[in-house]
Amino acid sequence: MGSFTLRSALLLTAAVFPAAAFASESADSQPERDYLPSEIVVTGARGGYGLDDGSTATKTPTPLIDVPQGISFITEDQLEDQSIRQLNEALRYVPGVSLETGEGHRDEVFIRGQETTADFYLDGLRDDAQYYRPLYNIERVEVLKGANALIFGRGAGGGAINRVSKTARTAEIFTTAQASVDTFGAFALQADVNQPLTDTVAIRLNGTYEEFDNDRDFYEGRFIGLSPTLTADLGPATRLTATYSYHDDERVVDRGVPSFQGGPLRGYDETFFGDPDFNRSQAEVHIGRIRLDHEFAPGLNANATVQYGDYDKIYGNILPTGTDRSSVSLDGYKDSTTRENLIGQANLVWQTEGTGFGSTLLLGLEGSRQETQNARRVVRFGDTDRSKITTPLADRIVVPAFTLDPVSRSRESTLETLSFYLQEQLEIGDHVELVGGLRWDRFDLDTVNIISGVAGDRVDERVSPRAGIILKPVEQLSFYASYTESFLPQAGDQFLLISPGEERFKPEKFTNYEVGVKWAPLDEVLVTAAAFRLDRTNTTAPDPDNTGLIVQTGESRVEGFEIGAVGSITDFWKANLGYTYLDGELRTSSDFGVAGARLQQLPRHQITAWNRFDVTEQFGFGVGVIHQSDQFASFSNTVELPGYWRVDAAAYYTLSDRIGLQLNIENLFDETYYPSAHGNNNIQPAEPFSARFGVRVEL
């Protein structure tokens, strides 16, 4: 893996082994107590929809009300109540997030107007390959808004999406099984088994099998997931957690419908614009992680984690590129990517108190190595040398015979990073808290175009700051203001290739200004509101003086505010409610588009609301609403996705302490709408009315 990885491994070894040694020396001298390092592990804080754990945003034991940034989350209880099994489905209920179709084979989102395929994290560590992420082994989903470089490193300009894994519990024995089927024939089976082996060691196994289907012609697929995890208390102050996940996903790649006269092509919402035998995606993912947590003394904790990820992905596409309503043009290719990630991270958290102040100091380091290979073959239609073809528009698209060229694109990249970060959370008296920190990143990217032999090399060293102030008139109320920065090198968020021309450009910069309020009017309810400005600078653009050169002057800005409420409002009513207003445009012409263009897929108004009402101990029902106003499919601002309202519903019936029945209805009023796109001619029609029936058994 090279000298860099060896250095990273040595640094992590230096962090981990002294902690383990200290644990064996000091265990007898410490009083018996519960495992304290769990305070700095991302774990659930309450049942229901509420949450008071803000540790992901700071890597320290911090209540959510004391974090100076907007954070949205969906707990395991809400995911189960909505019968949600994939990340992209869950994110529809997060205000400030809109979905890109991801070309029908990957998670891709906009967070505060910033598009990303890579700002995804698993327990705080990067999980950046392009695939669909399941939720069968996930305890909750967190969306941290704004620039997040200090905690997450490069990228995360509009925000970061973190999944919190289910882990084994040493004090519980349980087995849960679930099964569901919907009106299209899609079904899912899921099991969750937790078993202590001793008083200090437990194992947990989550597994699932799913088959996909919907109203779209030819769409199908299946998913297999298996995730064992082990928890071992090595002493009263030391815990080892080991997890492994295997994901095997196969599905038809559906690129949606083309546009016509400035909007989605109407009347073809079920038509598949591709070849069902060729439009296939296969992704196989292995992720293994070991984490060691240790408490040296009360208030002095450390953790170290090593994560290895192996991703193997191939997909084929025949896709629409335009229509005149009598014929449709098609294009196509086959693409393959393999990636290996090795990430090591270590953190030291020191909490102290004095007269009139309290301090939480975070010291951390992270090193990673990422190796990627990507290749593409272009489709050629018929006996010609054409890579594009026109065929009659019909309910069933006839794709002419085609072949695949020899490899038309092949590239390899090696990315090595090294980071150090420092953060101080200072409490002054009972009413003022300051948060400040710096992160230094060294980013070393080497790429090579295998076909041309052209190599690219760029090294960046960046310092990313974070600053915030929190005012707390009372314990249940906080006002905050914050400033944060993030950066993204010019190779894009997948870092597949950097050209010699791009080597000279410094990274793009994201700067987030935010003010907000968080209020806990009830014990299990949190109300939040925030106003923000997010500036993106250093994007490339043609020289406005028409010299033919490329300059680094591109800028965009997003301004907006959001308000939300989540938790158990009464004994019978749980809710997660949110509204976001977003206004964003290109401030100068850039590679994205011309100055003044509205940012792509940025709805001005967005409403998300999910409610569960328990009428009796046995019966309850749920109601959900999603609204997005009009949005442009791309920076060209020539194709518009109309605004829409969607209503979902659910019903719950408990047969016994062990058996529960559930009915979920999506798109209750059978609305026709188009929630996402990939450019102007890959627009995804939404599913019509559908119902899913499920049963949950606790053994």
What span, in angstroms and rounded, lies between the C-alpha atoms of 365 and 441? 10
pLDDT at 218 > cutoff 60: yes
Name residue 664's beta-bridge partners: 650, 692
Residue 28, classed as helix, strand or coil, is: helix
More confident residue, 30 or 560: 560
pLDDT for residue 560: 97
Residues belonging to the chain: 699
pLDDT exceeding 70 applies to what percent of the chain?
Answer: 93
Residue 387 is predicted with a pLDDT of 83
| Average pLDDT of span 336-352 | 98
Task: Tell me the C-alpha distance between 565 and 475, whole Å.
Answer: 18
Q: What gap in Å lies between CA 64 and CA 75, rounded to an integer?
A: 14
What's the Cα-to-Cα distance from 316 to each of 97, 111, 118, 279, 363, rounded to whole Å? 28, 28, 21, 5, 45
Handedness of CA 61, 146, 109, 413 (dihedral sign): negative
What pLDDT was estimated at residue 499? 85
Please check the confidence at residue 25 and state whether its pLDDT lies above 50: no
Residue holding tokens 């911090």?
Answer: 62
Task: Give the Cα separation of 578 and 608 in Å (integer).
Answer: 5
Stretch 84-108: mean pLDDT, rounded? 95
pLDDT band, residue 384 (cuts 50/70/90): low
Look at phi and psi of residue 529 and say left if phi exceeds 0, alpha if psi is from -120 to 50, else beta. beta
Mean pLDDT of 297-325: 97
| Percent residues over pLDDT 90 in the chain | 86
Q: Per-residue pLDDT tens for 203-217?
A: 999 999 999 999 999
pLDDT in the model for residue 501: 81
Q: For residue 591, name the pLDDT band (cuts at 50, 70, 90).
A: confident
Q: What is the pLDDT of residue 542?
A: 80
**Residues 546-552: what's their mean pLDDT?**
78
Would you say residue 13 has pLDDT above 60?
A: no
Helix (H, G, I), strand (E, B) or coil at 13: helix
Which DSSP string corresponds to 182-250? ETTS-EEEEEEEEEESSSSEEEEEEEEEEEE--SSTT--EEEEEEEEEEEEEEETTEEEEEEEEEEEEE
Mean pLDDT in the chain? 92
Here the tokens at position 439 are 């992160």
The pLDDT score that the predictor gives to residue 551 is: 85
Residue 9 has pLDDT above 90, yes or no: no
Mean pLDDT of 428-441: 97
Question: Partners of 195 in the beta sheet?
Answer: 203
Rounded Cα distance between 484 and 316, Å, is 40
Q: In this predicted structure, what is the pLDDT of residue 37?
A: 33
Asked whether the beta carbons of 392 and 325 are under 8 A apart, the reply is no
Reported confidence tier of residue 47, pLDDT bands at 50, 70, 90: low
**Which has the minimum average pLDDT: 345-354, 366-375, 544-553, 653-662?**
544-553
Rounded to the nearest angstrom, the gap between the alpha carbon of residue 519 and the centroid of all alpha carbons in its chain is: 26
Which domains, from first to last, does the chain contain?
A: 3-698 (2.40.170.20)
512 or 591: which carries more pLDDT confidence?
512
**Contact present, 208 and 190 (Cβ < 8 Å):** yes
Q: Which pLDDT score, from 0 to 100, does residue 671 have?
A: 97
